Amino acid sequence: MILKYIVNQDSSGKNIKYILKNKLNLSERLVKKLKYSRKILCNNIPVYVNAIVNNGDIVEAHVDFTEEVSDIIPENIQISIIYEDDYLIALNKQPNIVVHPTFSHPSGTIANAIMHYLNSKNIFRKIRPVSRLDRDTSGVIIFAKNEFIQEAMIRQMTSKEFHKEYIGIVYGTVNQSQGTIDLPIDRKPGSIMLRHISPTGDRAVTHYRVVEYLKEATFLKFLLETGRTHQIRVHCQAIGHPLIGDTLYPLDNEQHCIANPQFKSDSYIGRQALHSQRVRFIHPFLKTEIILEAPIPDDIQRLLEILRK
């Protein structure tokens, strides 16, 4: 991948580092990486970052690198690709699979599967997640194929140009047809995994809209303004309507929010009923709007059918 910039009168007299950081939007870390790899060119000639540019010069940054990836072992695991180009790969993630290797899940992850897929195409690069999903959450998930794309996508998330929509089914009847949950989320004391609502936490904002009222449940659409860990799950629990099937964030007594205490979610779905349905962003290189969607998975569709009866 080659990023190019043609120097104009306003940029004439500046140095290469200024062009890389302010015109090509490269981070300090990536500028250093390009510098030591001698992958910065001006008029097809390798240059250092202190070189001065003139009007009409063409500055290039070659941001693809062959990288050491021995920490993730390629595994032939089936994946469902929604979108792919030279810069991004997006999947419809199946439930019950971890995205990235951890101490408790060192293999059998989405990252292992993507590594196998890329290696089969003679692409040897690090796995760079742009978005993450919990093990039991399904739907759209995106990975960048180089550092520049990952950084650009993260900037879009920070500036709220990256839009994430989820669907979920919660216990009980949500009275307001739409609303906003604005409650701070922090790590729960004594736990590595669990989060909770806390005044010391980071601001977390979830917008929701009722799609359909079901028997003893509500089908919701969520739009995330922030992206805290377990945000939707924690927020749903906080308003008294936890996601069906969520064992980490149930109410202390589920009978407070359902009419029938005999309702057992495990009979219908063995995970939280949450799905990343749609993302929208500006492609960092192509500069076009990209919209990616993942259809409602079979288990959530089946749960909807049961709850409509």
Residues acting as catalytic residues? 134
What is d(CA 126, CA 12) in angstroms, rounded to the nearest whole number?
Answer: 36
- The token pair at 229 is 């860990």
**H helices of the chain, where?**
16-18, 28-37, 110-120, 147-158, 231-238, 298-307
- The token pair at 245 is 């099937």
DSSP 55: T
Cβ atoms of 136 and 297 within 8 Å: the answer is no
Q: How far is CA 94 from CA 76, 139, 198, 219, in A?
A: 15, 7, 31, 20
Pairing between β-strand 138-144 and β-strand 178-182 as defined by DSSP bridges: unpaired
DSSP 259: S
What is d(CA 239, CA 216) in angstroms, rounded to the nearest whole number?
Answer: 16
- The token pair at 260 is 């029938």
